[in-house]
């Protein structure tokens, strides 16, 4: 069931409002949906996006698009609200859409502030970095071969068990320390997405 509080616009409506091509809006919408797969959209029978949440679209562009490179205006909550009145709409309908747009934008802003919205590309990049760091540490495990051989010769299987417990503890600490350094070196905010035309 559709959320009646969302203001859903077509690619054509957004393109007309912003004075850009439908292709540019489609590109921005595609990037938004890739980064945030839970973005409210309505699709046709062939899977094409027919309507997209205007609040999510404007929030994405305000948050991630470099204003210096954007051909369409980056809309704040206020400017987005003022742009929702379509010719032929009643005043009450325009006011209703403006209010719901404001609510939706505030909801998105709040979710972002409490850390519930994450960029998929950034999460995937972080997973790759963490995986690479962990693999680099685990690859050095072969350097313990002499210690294992010594433990076997001195104490047999029991000696190896004791040694492996110690090695596992050291590796765990090394991984934790390395990931902590990676986290400290990471940017606290995401950079603007430079390749958006809309």
Query: What pLDDT shows up at residue 39?
Result: 85
25 vs 17, 28, 31, 94, CA distance in Å?
11, 5, 10, 22
Which of the residue ranges 38-47, 117-126, 134-143, 176-185 would you say has the lowest mean pLDDT?
117-126
CA distance 146 to 168: 16
For residue 59, name the pLDDT band (cuts at 50, 70, 90).
confident
- Count how many Cα atoms sit within 13 Å of the Cα of residue 164 in the half-sphere of its side chain: 9
For residue 45, name the pLDDT band (cuts at 50, 70, 90).
confident
DSSP code for 85: -
pLDDT of 123 higher than 70: yes
Structure tokens at 43: 């699709």
Please tell me whether residue 21 adopts helix, strand or coil conformation: coil
Maximum mean pLDDT: which of 102-106, 113-117, 161-165: 161-165
Enumerate the H helices of 65-144 as residue ranges: 77-82, 91-113, 120-139
Query: What pLDDT shows up at residue 93?
Result: 63
Taking the alpha carbons of 196, 68, 9, 99 in that order, is the dihedral positive or negative? positive
pLDDT tens for residues 11-41? 888 888 888 888 988 888 888 888 888 888 8
Please tell me whether residue 167 adopts helix, strand or coil conformation: helix
For residue 48, name the pLDDT band (cuts at 50, 70, 90).
confident
Maximum mean pLDDT: which of 4-13, 68-77, 87-96, 159-168: 159-168
Percent of the chain predicted with pLDDT > 70: 68
pLDDT of 77 higher than 70: no
Residue 149 has φ and ψ, to the nearest 5°, of: -60, -40
Provide mean pLDDT across the span 121-125.
80
CA distance 115 to 132: 25
Query: What pLDDT shows up at residue 196?
Result: 45
For residues 42 and 51, the answer to whether their CB atoms sit within 8 Å is yes
Q: The pTM is what?
A: 0.41
Maximum mean pLDDT: which of 60-74, 110-124, 126-140: 126-140
């Amino acid at each position: 069931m559709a959320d009646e509080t969302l203001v859903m616009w077509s690619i054509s409506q957004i393109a007309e409002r912003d004075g850009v091509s439908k292709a540019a809006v489609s590109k921005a919408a595609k990037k938004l949906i890739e980064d945030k797969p839970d973005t409210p959209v309505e699709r046709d029978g062939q899977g094409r996006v027919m309507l997209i949440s205007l609040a999510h679209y404007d929030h994405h562009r305000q948050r991630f698009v470099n204003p210096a490179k954007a051909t369409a205006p980056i809309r704040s909550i206020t400017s987005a609200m003022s742009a929702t009145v379509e010719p032929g709409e009643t005043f009450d309908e325009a006011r209703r859409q403006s209010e719901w747009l404001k609510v939706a934008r505030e909801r998105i802003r709040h979710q972002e502030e409490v850390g519930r919205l994450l960029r998929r590309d950034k999460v995937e990049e972080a997973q790759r970095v963490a995986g690479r760091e962990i693999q680099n540490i685990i690859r050095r495990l072969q350097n313990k071969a002499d210690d294992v051989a010594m433990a076997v010769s001195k104490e047999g299987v029991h000696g190896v068990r004791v040694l492996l417990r110690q090695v596992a503890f050291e590796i765990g600490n090394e991984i934790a320390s390395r990931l902590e350094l990676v986290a400290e070196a990471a940017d606290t905010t995401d950079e603007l997405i430079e390749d958006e035309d809309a």
